[in-house]
Amino acid sequence: MTVSLRAVQAATACLLLISCLAGCSGNSDAPLFYESKRKAGEAEAPVKDVPADLLATQKAFSAVASKVTPCVVNISTISRKKIIQPFFETNPFFDDFLAPPQTRRDKSLGSGFLISKDGYIVTNDHVVRDAESIQVKLSNDKVYDAKVVGGDQKTDIAVIKINAADLPAAVLGDSEKLEVGQWAIAIGNPFGLERSMTVGVISATGRSNMGIETYENFIQTDASINPGNSGGPLLNIHGEVIGINTAIVAAGQGIGFAIPIAMAKPIFTQIMQKGTVSRGYMGVTIQPVTEDLARSFGLKQARGALVNDVIKGGPAQKAGIRQGDVITAFNGSEVKDPSHLQRLVAEQGVGRTARVTLIRDGKPVELGLTLSSAEAIPRQQRESGGSGEHSGQGDLLGLVVDDAEEGGVVVVDVGRGSVAADAGIRRGDVIVSVNRKKVLNSGEYQRIIHQAGSGEGRLTLLVRRGDASIYFALRIK
């Protein structure tokens, strides 16, 4: 009998399959996988003795999530923005020939948290700014239309409202007592991923001069904050709100910023009560105290805010504050720099009296000052003088000056690479005083400059530039 090769191969394959099946049925007692005895299985957990503090920490994070997540909301907005058009389309001459300006509908996502049982929600102003419609989604998946109660661009804080009752409300903590290294927990809506929780630590406090908002006192954290987290709460291990997540460093990872709740409370309280924010106004222009300026003003350290101008009729002038004073404390709080003073003044209630501590002629002075409302004061118009560096024969500072019509000397030319040019003095600036001695004319100016050149060579110039006054610390080489 002849058997083909294909038949032999088929038979062999069949026998192998039968053998494999028989082998499987022969080992039916071996489990396909192993379950932990912690789940009523047959296997021991790989790690039996987990440290108690780790288990407690894990339990604490889970407790924060379960207790606070119901207070956190997801915010979605729709806004209409104008499409940038070519020049001829924005020129009124072509209005009769073109269609109306084109707009686009933008959608964005953010976060917020309930601060009252009747539907008040705190978020970032940039989340809801210019929104045509706002929808709020709660943790129980109910969706509500929301309206803006008010917003403050200078601190990036806003309040919105939904019509609901008996809602879970967040508990506000104390951001004034935060320490670097403490736990920080962020809950929000990053990239549209609802109710996401991230954990890290407080990396730093009191971050300012970041160029993010007008008034800055940020908490820095490495708890992951991403687009969509804006407006959500930053929490401590007790589940208390200690900050409002606001910004990230785009070029880095693990660097996020939150507005301290202590700074936010006066803002959203005013918004809830009257829909707007009023800030204290002092009536001075100020600048940082550099090391050179500190030495020239007889200060032990470069801290505080140097008053370079006093607004006529303002609270500071009425209180007796003068040009050249260095403000070192406000209501007992040490002033670190101009932005710090600006924030302290803004947070002070309008119409209330504040204690201002300053250094004048090397001596401490304390004055009482009643703040007015910043919103009631017209914005000061400040124009810069001419810029640029020019070659020419100048004095020891590299300046060519002439008598100014209203007293002092006007800078006619600035030598390229000179001491004055390096300090930032420009053509058109008017030098009002040198080493706190008023300059009446160019002759007196030259005499003071030469006297300084034969001494230590340190000079402090008060310069008027447009409507602004600026102090410069120079050292003759």
pLDDT at 391: 34
Is there a single domain that holds both residue 190 and residue 254? yes
* 366 closest CA partner among 297, 306, 300, 320: 320
How is residue 467 written in tokens?
């409507």
CB–CB of 364/304 below 8 Å? no
Evaluate if residue 14 carries a pLDDT over 70: no
Please indicate, yes or no, if residue 340 is contained in any of the structural domains: yes
Is there a single domain that holds both residue 359 and residue 408? no
How is residue 257 written in tokens?
């910023």
CA distances from 189 to 129, 149, 251 (A): 18, 22, 21
Is there a single domain that holds both residue 367 and residue 321? yes
CA distance 327 to 95: 55
Evaluate if residue 437 carries a pLDDT over 90: no
CA distance 130 to 103: 14
Domain that holds residue 432: 399-475
The question of whether 53 is a catalytic residue gets the answer no
Percent of the chain at pLDDT > 90 equals: 40
Residue range 425-451: mean pLDDT, rounded: 83
Is there a single domain that holds both residue 360 and residue 405? no
Please indicate, yes or no, if residue 387 is contained in any of the structural domains: no
pLDDT at 20: 47
Is there a single domain that holds both residue 404 and residue 458? yes
Of the residues 223, 245, 274, the one at which a domain ends: 274
Of the residues 316, 344, 376, the one at which a domain ends: 376
Number of domains in the chain: 4
* 476 closest CA partner among 409, 417, 420, 437: 420
404: domain CATH number?
Answer: 2.30.42.10
pLDDT, tens only, 183-240: 999 999 888 888 899 999 999 999 887 777 778 889 999 998 888 899 999 999 999 9
Among 111, 196, 208, 230, the active-site one is 230
Among 125, 152, 156, 292, the active-site one is 156
* 182 closest CA partner among 242, 226, 230: 242
pLDDT range class, residue 436, cuts 50, 70, 90: confident
Among 76, 126, 339, 372, the active-site one is 126
Is there a single domain that holds both residue 303 and residue 338? yes
Q: Which amino acid is at 220?
A: Q
pLDDT at 377: 60
pLDDT, tens only, 304-362: 999 988 888 889 999 999 989 999 999 999 998 888 898 888 888 788 889 999 999 88
The continuous run of DSSP H or E covering 59 comes out as helix 52-68
CA distances from 423 to 328, 387, 452, 471, 476 (A): 24, 13, 17, 10, 11
The question of whether 156 is a catalytic residue gets the answer yes
pLDDT, tens only, 261-279: 999 999 999 999 999 888 8
CA distance 275 to 151: 8
Classify residue 358 as left (phi > 0), alpha (psi -120 to 50) or beta. beta
Of the residues 250, 274, 298, the one at which a domain ends: 274
80: domain CATH number?
Answer: 2.40.10.10
pLDDT range class, residue 390, cuts 50, 70, 90: very low
pLDDT, tens only, 112-151: 999 999 999 999 999 998 889 999 999 999 999 999 999 9
pLDDT at 144: 95
CB–CB of 460/437 below 8 Å? no
The question of whether 340 is a catalytic residue gets the answer no
Give me the chain's average pLDDT, please.
82
Angle between helices 261-274 and 338-347 (to 10 degrees): 40
Is there a single domain that holds both residue 285 and residue 266? no
